[in-house]
Amino acid sequence: MYEFIDQQKGHHKLQRLCELYGVTRSGYYAWRNRGISKRDSEDGQILAAIREIFEESGGTYGSPRIFQALKRAGWKIGRKRVERIMRENRLKARAQKIYKRCPEVQQHFVRVPNRLVGKQEEGPNEVWVGDITYLKANQKWHYLSVVMDRWSRKIVGWSLGKEKSSNLTLKTLQKAVNNRQPKQGLLFHTDRGSEYLSHTFQSKAEELGITASSNRPRHMNDNAYMESFFHSLKSDRYHGNTFENIEELRKMVESYIPFYNQKRLHSGLGYHSPVEYESLNNAN
């Protein structure tokens, strides 16, 4: 009764509603004060849990991921309530625009077809994707090479170097192969950079039983999952911080990738982390 009056008092006079339902204004206010006190207490407990998850994510989880994390922790709570508490306490995920600022590097292109279009992987180690991004420390560019399993979004290999070269991408690919031991026929999709399309890289990939695939011209979204990972990395850990040298960059990446693989919730994976997704789907 009181709850209905509370919902309608913005449209009708409180005195009229109380008379209509046979209750007193003092009774309504007593109910409301008890209710607010209880809700405030609950909100305080929820806020503490939200802050813990928010801080663990490095301030990068918005209300959808916070809500999913709370559900998994056993909280009985609605998404709107999580949104409200975060809004009232100014807990807003950091998501900064990524500006691509790349040194001028001459590209040498070799024709490798796009074998990814129309392919739908059904398990791990069927399709890997790779890419390189630029990270600056003390006014110097460094290069992060990454290999991801596209099925689960898990990062399976990475290397950080001072030069953008086939040696860097080969080192990363070899790490991924050592970590995952894929079967023959794995498809490895990259952009059209010479670091991937060089004779040296392609020969090694063929030796490992890997089939190459590359972006179509002017189709950067062919490798959208890698772009998404780099966006997350830079928004979560890179932008807003300063790095004095490559070792500080390396420590940042070393701390972020386990978080990304093991804990970062992905909407495309049903709000599971890559490791959880592979475990739930019995990936080997």
Residue type (1 letter), 105: V
Distances (CA, A) of 59 to 53, 62, 154: 9, 8, 21
pLDDT tens string 193-230: 888 988 889 999 999 999 999 887 655 556 788 888 99
Classify residue 108: in a domain, yes or no.
Answer: no
pLDDT of residue 58: 74
pLDDT in tens, 5-36: 666 666 677 787 677 666 677 777 776 766 55
The CATH number of whichever domain residue 228 belongs to comes to: 3.30.420.10
From the list 95, 134, 49, the residue with the least C-alpha distance to 240 is 95
Same domain flag for 73 and 173:
no
Give the pTM. 0.66
Same domain for 141 and 243, yes or no, is yes
User: What letter represents residue 94's amino acid?
Assistant: R
pLDDT tens track for 142-193? 999 999 999 999 999 999 999 989 999 999 999 999 999 999 989 999 988 8
Residue 246 has a pLDDT of: 96
| pLDDT tens-place string over residues 231-246 | 889 988 998 899 999 9
Q: Does residue 262 share a domain with residue 132?
A: yes
DSSP 218-268: T-GGGGHHHHHHHHHHIIIIITT---SSHHHHHHHHHHHHHHHHHT--BGG
Does the residue 121 lie in any domain?
no
Closest to 53 in 3D by CA, of 64, 38, 37, 42: 64
Position 12: which residue type? H
In terms of domains, do 78 and 132 share one? no
Do residues 36 and 144 share a domain?
no
Q: Domain of 272?
A: 127-280
The residues, any chain, with a CB within 8 Å of residue 253's CB and separated by 6 or more, are 144, 158, 160, 233
The partner residues of 210 in beta bridges, in order of sequence, read 186
Domain count, the chain: 2
Query: Are residues 83 and 199 both part of a single domain?
Result: no
- At residue 105, does pLDDT exceed 50? no
162 and 236 inside one domain: yes
Q: Are residues 198 and 273 in the same domain?
A: yes
Res. 262: pLDDT tops 80: yes
